[in-house]
Chains A and B, each alone.
Chain A
Amino acid sequence: MTMGTTNLAAAAPEIFLLAMVCAILVVDLFLDDERRHWSYGLTLLALAGTALIALSAGPGTRHAFNAMFVDDAMARVLKVFVCISVAAMLIYGRTYCRERGLFRGELFVLSLTATLGMMVMISASHFLTLYLGLELMSLSLYSMVALSRDSAMATEAAMKYFVLGALASGMLLYGLSMIYGATGGHGGPPTLQIAEVAARVLSNQANQTLLIFGLVFVVAGVGFKLGAVPFHMWVPDVYQGAPTAITLLIGSAPELAAFAFVLRILVQALGAHPLLIEWQQMLILLAVLSMAVGNVTAIAQSNIKRMLAYSTISHMGFMLLGIVSGSLNGYGAAMFYMVTYVLTVSGAFAMIILLSRGGFEADSLDDFKGLNQRSPWYAFLMLLIMFSLAGVPPVVGFYAKLSVFQAVMAAGMTWLVVVAVLFSLIGAFYYLRVVKLMYFDDPQDSVPLAPTADVRALLTINGVAVLVLGLLPGGLMDLCQRAIQNSL
């Protein structure tokens, strides 16, 4: 490929972020704990700046670094949401981290490098770039889970996360190497550039057997990263073991990156016809299993972080349905699903953070008992969030499910929609239980929640957005759909 000129402007947000990471790394060295909020402020500033730079880029698609890196509409939208989501995590987790001694330079730097990794993943147009971003993100997240050194649970979680994550990366790499091999031959030297791989697949020049073998491993790697069944084992342990603020990070922004990852590998590179059918079948299996295992197992949980972990697994199943449909419509629906899911789940974890006080976690379901009597407003916000996760109108989760179901139905897989609908009914039960605890039970603790002003404002915006986007979902839907249409 000859779009060789290095066009640094395409990577401007990443470059800015990297520069800020270096700056914060240095600045933080000279701050004592009293003035740690300077690096906190700088981190937020870095995220805001990155998002602004991503926003300010004009329309169209630009490549950089020998077409290893792409800046397209989808990348810009996702990057902005990633920045917002990471910033929200830092704001939600500020008091929490301070109380647990996690409010250190490492937190800021690692969350920024994780963000950088996600952004690279999102913008990758070459398998190596994709892998590079994935590892940058994953390694940052592994160490963030272990950030509270003295907690045995956190360390165990980090270990599990790391070992299973490394295994997944290995699988992915193995699969990619097979695809690399398969693309060589008549059409020219083997390649890892996504558009070129797509061209080889389309023209049937690639070795089909090898390609399909590679595809299996790639899907397994993708499944690990998404936390889809049967590759989900790490999700509950990591969600529960990690400090809640870190769980919030793991459960939100990386899902957006993972979505881009799925789209770049499966749709952009391997989306041509014979392969499409192959991975559709695999994803149907992953999706159905995820919805089944996630929703059913979540019922049995008494720890809300663990419950949300299983809920994440089931939501990945629903999101995969959009990809399974194999249409632009479906990809747009999946993207909308992911964005709204991240919005909703951030609010849910923020509530758990809010409930914990004085260094104690409040992550058991019983901690939500009687919240309506303690703080009606936060109970109401949590109610909106729970109904959104359950997919009950008029909150936004319903439209996410609606658009995904519509795409699957248009692809002629009505039975799959019926299955999904039945599992979302099962899922409704455990979200309802949270509402039941908050509204129907008596509180164990009568102290009202007293968040700081910034958290109060952000959580209110977050919860109300779930409702407002439910009443007027059109704009965000269009945004996602246009981003997909302009990028694929």
Chain B
Amino acid sequence: MLLGLPLLSLAIWVPIAAGLAVLATSSDRTADNARWLALIGAALGFVVTLPLYAGFDPQAHGMQFQEAASWIPRFHINYHLGIDGVSLLLILLNSFTTILVVIAGWQVIQTRVSQYMAAFLVLSGVMNGVFSALDGALFYVFFEATLIPMFIIIGVWGGKNRVYAAVKFFLYTLLGSLLTLVALIYLYNAADGSFALLDWYKLHIGMTEQVLVFLALMAAFAVKVPMWPVHTWLPDAHVEAPTGGSVVLAAVMLKLGGYGFIRLSLPIVPDASHALAGFVIALSLIAVVYIGLVALVQTDMKKLIAYSSIAHMGFVTMGVFLFNGMGLEGAVLQMISHGFVSGALFLCVGVLYDRMHTHVLAEFGGVVNTMPVFASFFMLFAMANAGLPGTTGFVGEFLVTLGAMQVNFWYAALAATSLVFGAAYTLWMYKRVVFGAVANDHVAQLRDINLREVLFLALLAAVVLGMGIWPQPMSVVLHTSVNDLLAHVAQSKL
């Protein structure tokens, strides 16, 4: 542990403390205080996660940076944290995204600024908690606690139909996770009163129980990912959420589901995972193909990107259940890549929305004439979303498709259609918004992006390009974790 500091605890509690500080010290009259304080908090939150990467040993097996303390002795629940390569990348993604969100909300949010910033900071800390929890109960508490700030974010700062979207988001995800709670309690009893994930990994349970546990866990994770057919909450939530909400939702929150599959479902019930892999892959392929087609006909930019998210997350769930190194590593890289790309796309839509107050495609056209700088950034992210080689979008999808090819030709063939559909819906959207003649007076009056907007788009562009060209820094920390997980999953626990 670097410098002897509890780095994971810092990653969780620094943003939360910063959020509470923002809440406590600022009101709407002193909104600028809230903004700067939030930025400092978010930056600090990111800085404390950097030593995690620096100190991470890519060769080491098992969990690193472990911290353990007794939390609820009566149920042997421990405050037990630890990360492997998968969690490490997601924590970095999350903390980085928080900075972007704070900057993105700088001018747009004018009412209840401190509450807005605080909600995002708290959410960021809580999600770091999910990614580092090694105790089932702790995991669940963090997992569920993400709902409250997001509910508030969508409901308070969202669009016209925000209440419907917020309530739908909350109840949908709560339904899934309550069933998971049943599974967690079952595992607790089965493990003779232990909530430790590492104990659960060693647990031998029968096939029927494994399947039930798998399905109960899947209820939560599939809704979060979201997998077809439980995806319907996501387009609503995205359309109504403020830009920052959409960014965090797409970039980080959806990953909780994929992460859950990797951290809980696979290692705890490997036999059921193997048995039901075909089922999950089928759902994933439906997401890739069918949702890709659905995205094609959207008339609202945010909805289109939301559907595109679902299609891209289909790669994640498929990659996880291929049970080979390329698939799993590709799935994790796809999660990270999708985090940056979809976050960037939502920020781009946000930039347009701030100026035009709409995200209906038909209202746009010829934006390139008035916003050339913006158009080039948007182009890069659209290409990344379509999976262009040289961007992060390519790496994950390519690896998963290769992995699929090893298992079954048709999996790969169907997955590869995404390259077609993805290019079709993204580039068509880009064409309708950016190219052509100036569509109307509103577009004619658009002003190009300001320094603040250049800042966050440039940051993202650097990441999207950099990691697309040189994904090594990401994949190097994954190898051992992925191989260990696959070795563990290969052993039957019946």
Q: Is A129 an interface residue (CB 8 A)?
A: no
A43 contacts partner chain B, Cβ-Cβ < 8 Å = no
Tell me, yes or no, whether B200 is within 8 Å of chain A by CB: no
Which of chain B's residues have a CB closer than 8 A to the CB of A409?
182, 185-186, 189
A223-B240 Cα distance, complex, nearest whole Å: 45
- Chain B nearest CB from A322 CB (Å) reads 13
* Residue pair B73, A425 in contact (C-beta under 8 Å): no
Q: Does B166 contact A (CB under 8 A)?
A: yes
- Smallest Cβ distance from B112 to chain A, in angstroms? 8
Q: Are A474 and B73 in contact, CB atoms less than 8 angstroms apart?
A: yes
> Which residues of B lie under 8 Å from residue A383 when comparing CB positions?
148
**Nearest CB in chain A: distance from B397 CB, A:** 35
Does A292 lie at the interface of the complex (its beta carbon under 8 Å from any beta carbon of B)?
Answer: no
B279 interface residue (CB < 8 Å to A): no
Contacts known (A429-B171, A440-B163); A398 close to B178, Cβ less than 8 A: no
A132 at the A/B interface (Cβ < 8 Å)? Answer: no
Chain B proximity mask over A364-389: 1 for CB below 8 Å, otherwise 0: 00000000100010000001000100
User: A323 in the interface, Cβ–Cβ < 8 Å?
Assistant: no
Min distance, Cβ A323 to any Cβ of chain B, angstroms: 18
Instruction: Give the interface residue-count category, chain B.
Output: 35 or more
Q: Is the CB of B182 within 8 A of A418?
A: yes
Report how far A433 CA is from B137 CA in the complex, Å.
27
Contact with B along A382-420 (1 / 0, CB 8 A): 010001000011100011001101100110001001100
**Bound Cα distance A424, B174 (Å):** 10
Q: How far is the CA of A481 from the CA of B137 in the complex (A)?
A: 19
Once the chains are docked, how many angstroms separate the CA of A436 from the CA of B154? 11
User: Closest chain B residue to A441 by CB distance?
Assistant: B163
- Size of the A side of the interface (Cβ < 8 Å), in residues, is 36
* Among B71, B74, B141, B148, residue most surrounded by chain A Cβ atoms (within 10 Å): B74
Q: Does B175 contact A (CB under 8 A)?
A: yes
- Chain B residues within an 8 Å CB radius of A481: 74
Instruction: A473 to B75: give the CA distance in the assembly, Å.
Output: 11
Report A470-488 CB contacts with B as 1/0, cut-off 8 Å: 0011100110010000000
Interfacial residues of chain B within 147-165, with CB under 8 A of chain A in the complex: 147-148, 151-152, 155-156, 162-163
Q: Is the CB of B185 within 8 A of A425?
A: no
Query: Within 8 Å of chain B (Cβ to Cβ): is A163?
Result: no
The answer to whether A392 and B166 touch (CB under 8 A), given A399-B72, A414-B186, is: no
Within 403-457 of A, Cβ neighbours of B (below 8 Å) are at 403, 405-406, 409-410, 414, 417-418, 421-422, 424-425, 428-429, 432-433, 435-436, 439-440
Tell me the B101-152 residues at the A interface (CB within 8 Å): 112, 115, 137, 140-141, 144-145, 147-148, 151-152
Asked whether any CB of chain A lies closer than 8 Å to the CB of B188, the reply is yes
Chain B residues with Cβ under 8 A from A417's Cβ? 182, 185
Bound-state Cα–Cα, A53 to B182, Å: 42
Which positions in B face A, CB cutoff 8 Å? 70-75, 112, 115, 137, 140-141, 144-145, 147-148, 151-152, 155-156, 162-163, 166-167, 170-171, 174-175, 178-179, 181-182, 185-186, 188-189
Sample 17 A-B pairs with CB under 8 A, ordered by A number. A372-B112, A372-B115, A392-B145, A393-B145, A398-B144, A402-B75, A402-B185, A409-B185, A409-B189, A425-B178, A436-B166, A472-B71, A474-B70, A474-B71, A474-B72, A474-B74, A477-B75
Known: A406-B75, A425-B175. 9 other contacts (CB 8 A): A372-B115, A402-B185, A418-B182, A421-B179, A421-B181, A421-B182, A428-B170, A432-B170, A435-B151
List residues of A whose CB falls within 8 A of some B CB.
372, 376, 383, 387, 392-394, 398-399, 402-403, 405-406, 409-410, 414, 417-418, 421-422, 424-425, 428-429, 432-433, 435-436, 439-440, 472-474, 477-478, 481
**Cβ-closest 7 pairs across A and B:** A393-B141, A474-B72, A421-B178, A440-B155, A477-B74, A393-B144, A409-B185
